[in-house]
Chains A and B, each alone.
Chain A
């Protein structure tokens, strides 16, 4: 069966063993991505964004890891692949950019060597040709003096330069999908802006998809076509970017937006914070994960996990009982 979508993630579940038991880091995440589009994965720190994508690519190297669900990339389930099969996808068709560029580079090898490595592996290039290609890629990623950078070590470059080099490394083999895990969090504002601009430009010229992980809604608004919002290991809302910003449905999404500074704010207006803390992922609550912090919590929220209901107003889906068809009927009855 040929899918139009580049990537379809279906009910992904990840449980990580620790000394204190299993962390239920991802508890059912589904989304899909189309070629050439950008999907933003948002949510507060610790909600399982990184774990989701890393589990998909088999990058969580923990013995006894529990994985369930599917992640079909170009029709093939990544989760079912052997390590060897995965290695033909990772780096070749899916490139990955990490949050902290300094620790993501091997400190004892040159930038050029580290970029060339993938080219030698996936494209069968000779070492010298690969280094030359690395220089070209650095140039494409608008890194100044690319020929010098090739022979430099990571600690000799600034954070922004390193992030460009990392993007060059991720793009080396011309992947269809670029996964960027908070690529700008570690950078200052101007550099952030340049990196985002670079990514947009590269996406345009190369026609690839980007899965962008971030907790910055401004970045989402600027980059994304679609948005998936995560909370406590679950996908709580999914919509096109315009729908999401015009009609945020899930109470968590709405709280998140209230907590973010935006253009239309009046000077001095306080930012709302979300009261409380996320649930314990060792023993998640039986009902909606957001229920304890939700201003609209209902009795059903306490003991039944809501499904992903089609939003009543926007075009997306939302994991909230208020979107249940029976909800408005109940409201009418209750108000009467």
Chain B
């Protein structure tokens, strides 16, 4: 009634007799498991084989190196302002001419001479980034000239641009422009207007100012010796420093600020979690280990702390530490993060300890008379190490975020000390015209947070901890 033969292969030829001899002697009855390796080694192996983890590790290491060692290599003062190079995009070294501004000494003869050629309507007398000087052919019947400036070369025939000045018609119609000049093409539009506001004539002239720096600025920024006579410097060439990541709205070098800011942001981001994870672990470990009423009361406390509105209390600590508006509250921020941050780790570790307490080996150690502290150190610590490391790794990005957030709303690190968050705060003002000022610090924050998050994920996988355990 059963299938007579379910086997696939046909019964082969007769089997040699000696194969039916019984096996003799002691035999290995258990299968040999593959060589067993230690827990930590296992974790490390799993971690090592995770490519994302290794990339994240490299990114974290580079960021730390960037912040710690960077300022030694890139010796630029992060607080040094430069009026001449505000909000620059990334630039290399540039040659500039030292100029000095004096009132425009104007010669009518020169004007007449330049207007001799009927093909020329507008003459550019000077064009550098400190000042642009133009004059043009007067128009019969015009009472004033409206001058506009716009960026770029070719313009539509009716476009105007930024209104610069209204100039009364005098003997020599001319304009001096010193308004935030950059090293790029400008087109000046001149409308000659009569008393009924009719445009009689339109001139347009494209100008490319050469890079120049005022003597005063050069002296202030230490580019030329202060004691040198003005006459000796004027007209000489000068090399302006490079700004690989550009400058901010005060002309400060963004690369240097990013390095110093990284020190602040990463310090807060790592120090605060380190302290509160350690404290939380100790707290939770003690609560879990002692158990009973003590445990109840201790965890109740933790619950209360969790219920406090986190960011609001972060800010309250600023008031408590008497941080005045405009001051940096780094220590207030650190203390607040530690005071408010520990409960999640405490809960986590307590849960682990409670679980481990159930396990036989701890009981056995207890029966053998081991002291509680000894039990915690020798049995429990290695077991909660993984959970701790993972929650530390996840705490870092959230601390970096908190710093950035507080500095961004102006209640964290305040200028002139840079932090990535306060740099974003600065950058957001000029975001529309100079997006790089926001972009670079934002990228730094995102990169750090991303790397630590990925690292946390990888560690969680390596330690084989259930997802969701570290979500507090």
Contact = CB atoms under 8 A, between A and B. Distances in A.
A and B touch in the complex (CB under 8 A): yes
A30 B2 CA distance: 10
Nearest to B33: A280
Contact of B27 (A34, A292, A296, A299): A292
A326 B15 contact: yes
Nearest to A308: B7
A143 interface: no
Given A276-B29, A292-B29, A326-B14, A307 B5 contact: yes
A10 B6 contact: yes
B359 interface: no
B113 to A, nearest CB: 87
Contacts of A300: 15, 19-20
Interface in A295-336: 296-302, 307-308, 310, 316-317, 319, 321, 324, 326-327, 329-331, 333-334
A307 B23 contact: no
A298 B23 contact: yes
Contacts of B30: 276-277, 292
A333 B27 CA distance: 25
Interface string B1-33: 111111111010011011111110001111101
Contacts of B28: 292
B24 to A, nearest CB: 10
B15 A292 contact: no
A164 interface: no
A324 B17 contact: no
A239 interface: yes
Interface residues of B, number: 25
B20 A30 contact: no
A11 B5 CA distance: 11
Given A296-B22, A298-B23, A299-B23, A238 B2 contact: yes
Interface residues of A, number: 44
A299 B18 contact: yes
Contact of B17 (A11, A226, A333): A333
Contacts of B21: 298-299, 334
A302 B21 CA distance: 11
Contacts of B18: 299
A334 B17 contact: yes
Given A279-B31, A330-B17, A317 B2 contact: yes
Given A292-B27, A307-B11, A32 B2 contact: yes
A6 B440 CA distance: 71
B15 A324 contact: yes
B6 A308 contact: yes
A238 B106 CA distance: 117
Interface in A140-194: none
Interface of A: 8, 10-11, 28, 30-32, 34, 226, 235, 238-240, 275-280, 285, 292-293, 296-302, 307-308, 310, 316-317, 319, 321, 324, 326-327, 329-331, 333-334
14 contacts: A30-B6, A239-B2, A277-B30, A278-B31, A297-B22, A299-B19, A299-B20, A299-B21, A300-B19, A301-B23, A307-B5, A307-B11, A310-B5, A317-B5
Interface of B: 1-9, 11, 14-15, 17-23, 27-31, 33
Top 6 A-B pairs ranked by shortest CB distance?
A: A30-B6, A276-B29, A300-B19, A330-B20, A307-B7, A330-B17
Given A226-B1, A326-B15, 16 more contacts: A8-B3, A28-B6, A32-B2, A235-B6, A238-B2, A276-B29, A292-B29, A297-B22, A297-B27, A298-B22, A308-B6, A317-B5, A327-B20, A330-B15, A334-B17, A334-B21
